[in-house]
Amino acid sequence: MRVSRWRSALMVGLATAGVLLGGAGSASAEAANYVALGDSYSSGTGTREYIDDGSDCYRSNHAYPKLYANKIGLALNFQACSGAVTADVINNQLGALSSSTDYVTISIGGNDAGFAPVITQCAKPWPWTCTTEIANAQKFVRETLPGRLDSVYSKIKDKAPNAKVIVVGYPKLFNGEECNFLARISPQEQSDLNATADLIATTTKGRAGAHGFTFVDPRSAFTGHAVCDDVEWLNGLSDPIIESYHPNRAGHVAYTNLIASATKAKRLTPATNG
């Protein structure tokens, strides 16, 4: 397998260069191939600084795919794009995969469920509510999202049969506190939105497991670091608005460490705000 060849090459490189696993290391033709797929949670939207690549994908050098690739010494093909839904991954991102792909990460499904417009509705002032929108999103996650995830995961497996595939989930955004006057999301609405995040996580984990993929669940790690917590790993209402309710730089370090744990790699420290 290519992973075995990469590990052998890496050990030779470490012995020659005298560096520790997890360090920057030198580039090698044998570096494992890593393709990062998905939506804004993978592209790095929310980290305040973006790569000028001519796209509207809001890809960042502070995003977990970049951090993970740099830390392990992987050759990254960065496909994740802000706003992506499952169809976008299938139509626009999977061309980067091949039988020589060693690692794949993907976060997808939140946009399919319309999570952003649901939160926008919840943030409107009284007397607007978002009960109907949340119920509709949850119905979609239960009835439609599993099939869409299956379509994406099946195509990933077909195109990258030798890859270690890591499906990355979404955290719960809220802690029940109202701390932003301009985004009035009540404690009950926050609870209902968190319940929707739980439903997406359960659904995604189930479909990922059915395809033999590893699911990385950030919900426990992000507890105590939600919007309005003292140390936030997630942005609240932000300017520009697209950065709202996305992981900040500290959140992406946390994601990197979760993925590192899933692949038995060394953690990054410290996980500071950014």
Please list the active-site residues. 40, 246
Q: CA-CA distance, 128 to 131, in Å (whole number)?
A: 9
**Partners of 228 in the β-ladder:** none
Residue 158: how many other CB atoms lie within 10 Å: 10
Do residues 50 and 69 touch, judged by C-beta distance below 8 A?
A: no
Query: How many other CB atoms sit within 10 Å of the CB of residue 3?
Result: 13
Phi, psi (degrees; rounded to nearest 5) at 131: -60, -45
189 neighbors 195 (Cβ within 8 angstroms): no
Whether residue 59 contacts residue 30, with contact meaning beta carbons closer than 8 Å, is answered with no
Element (H, E) at 179: none
184 close to 123: Cβ distance less than 8 angstroms: yes
Residue 105, SS3 per DSSP: strand
Q: Are 130 and 118 in contact (CB under 8 A)?
A: yes
